[in-house]
Amino acid sequence: MKVKLWGTRGSIPAPGPETIRYGGNTSCVGVTLSDGSMLALDAGTGIRCLGLAQPDEPARLHILLTHLHLDHIQGLVFFAPAFRPQTEIVIWGPASSEASLRDRIARYISAPLSPVEVRELPCDVSFRHCPESEWEIGSARIRSASVSHRGPTLGYRIDDGDSSLAYIPDHEPALGADLDELEEDWISGFALAKDASLLIHDGQYTDAEYPDHVGWGHSATSHALSFARRTGAERTVLFHHDPLHSDEQLDGLAVEAREQWVALGGDPATLELAAERAEYELPARAPSALV
Amino acid sequence: MSFVTQRPLELILARNLMSALSTPAFLVDEGGLLVFYNEAAGMLLGKRFEELGTVGPQEWGSLFGPFDESGEPIPYDELPLVRAVRAGRPAHAELTVRSTDGTQHEVEVSAFPILTAHGSQGAIAVFWPSLRNGNGAQPA
């Protein structure tokens, strides 16, 4: 399984000279399974470049949405494969008692917010609510679970062979909870991340910023690290950077995070901050960074 | 693949909220298993949840009552929490619970089900001191 980060930013795109290295595009992770199947985790603005990198040939692509906040769907109408008639796209996402996934996404892909409507997309697109039980896509088994965020929000676990990816980009597991004390089955998202080869997890706020953002649905650095430690993930990538955080600030945050990680007993080489275009290959049990 | 079991998010969030309340509150899962009560409930019962742990419905009934106005044990099926989780409807009752030191507490109980897109996940019960006798505690 190969993983590539196409958008690492949270909330709103943050392009500019201050964010070149960590990136300004919002959430999107490309996953190439061992059988060649292609998944996109979320469709923030990062999915535009993922789409441009796809060959112009018949293909079946799966987009797994964690939730429908704009920073996770904004790139959908700029995803080049969606405008190719020979492409089949399956969009997975959280169910809601209020409306179908298609109808909720159509609120964005429709006038006046979008120049095209869902029905006008040339590709063969379908929408599916994530089932409660695991399901298969290509060579992978997929599992989703509701996680602590604002509104219906999922995290994902993708198992392909012996390697596993946990993707929980918007997550506040420490809201009203002590992650160091709670039993593991009472920790939001725990089962998704347990012993994952690679955990991509919300790390939007510094510990100093978090008190002003309690309940906003995101993690402070220390919360993300506690979650990673409890779950035993082999490698952790802090993701969904706050749009106000410059490369320079994120460099400093990376140093602080590694110090905290070491204090928790972690190996500093197993923790990093998400950087746009970073790639990971997840072989059997020991993932290694390519870039 | 991970086979770790996970509580439904709605129960996790309910427990987190209850942990921050000073009102005694109890949480059962969809099967009626008592899976959490908060510190205030622990003070009422004389035993912290961490000391008791998860217990089945018959067991916690025998530990703490509850009793009706005449002092008779209330059948399990008639407890507000059980009615809420089984019928998916709110339930309210006045009853007496007995703490570990023998003190009896007259309380009003409001229970409501936790209904989600995936069906009922359990129920929450909140205890209030009964106004019937002016306060919520009587010696045994």
Residue to test with chain B: of A172, A188, A198, A199, most B Cβ within 10 A: A188
Positive or negative torsion for Cα A264, A269, A275, A281? negative
Structural domain includes residue B122: yes
Q: Give the CA count within 13 Å in the CB-facing half-sphere of A142.
A: 27
Q: How far is A288 from chain B (nearest CA, A)?
A: 20
Q: How confident is the model at residue B139 (pLDDT cuts 50, 70, 90)?
A: very low
Residue B75 falls within a domain, yes or no? yes
Range of the domain at B109: 9-138
Please report where in the chains the tokens 């679970």 appear, as a residue. Answer: A145
Q: Omega into A268 within 30° of 0, i.e. cis?
A: no
Residue-level pLDDT at B4: 67
pLDDT at A48: 98
pLDDT at B140 (0 to 100): 41
CA distance B80 to B73: 14
Model confidence pLDDT, tens digit, residues B1-56:
445 678 999 999 999 999 999 999 999 999 888 899 999 999 998 989 988 877 77
**Which of 3.40.640.10, 3.50.50.60, 3.20.20.70, 3.60.15.10 is the CATH number of A2-289?**
3.60.15.10
Q: Give the DSSP letter of residue A159.
A: E
- As given in the structure block, the two tokens for residue B74 are 């209330």
Is there a domain that residue B34 lies in?
A: yes
Mark yes or no for CB contact B15/A186 under 8 Å: yes
Identify all chain A residues contacting B30, using CB atoms and an 8 Å cutoff.
Answer: none
Predicted local confidence at residue B6, as pLDDT: 82
Question: Domains in chain B: how many in total?
Answer: 1
pLDDT < 50 stretches in chain A: 285-286, 291
| B127 within a domain of the structure (yes/no) | yes
pLDDT of residue A286: 46
pLDDT of residue B2: 45
The answer as to whether B37 is a domain residue is yes
Flag whether pLDDT at B109 surpasses 60.
yes
Amino acid A43: pLDDT: 98
Distance CA B80, CA B113 (A): 10
User: What's residue A98's pLDDT?
Assistant: 82
State the best of B12, B48, B120 to mutate against chain A, taking most chain A CBs within 10 Å. B12
What confidence tens digit (pLDDT) does each residue in B57-72 have? 667 767 788 888 888 8
Sequence-distant (≥ 6) Cβ neighbours of residue A263 within 8 angstroms:
none
Q: What is the pLDDT of residue A290?
A: 53
Domain membership flag for residue B4: no
Is the ipTM of this structure higher than 0.85? no
How many other C-beta atoms lie within 10 A of the C-beta of residue A216? 15
Mutate to test the interface with B, among A1, A143, A144, A146 (most CBs of B within 10 A): A146
Question: B116 pLDDT exceeds 90?
Answer: no
B126 falls within a domain: yes
Q: What's the CATH code of the domain at B106?
A: 3.30.450.20
Q: Which of B7, B17, B20 sits opposite A185 (nearest CB)?
A: B7
In angstroms, the separation between the Cα of residue A159 and the nearest Cα of chain B is 6
Query: Is the CB of B140 inside 8 Å of chain A's CB atoms?
Result: no
Chain A from 160 to 219: CB within 8 A of any B CB: 164, 175-177, 184-188, 190-192, 194-196
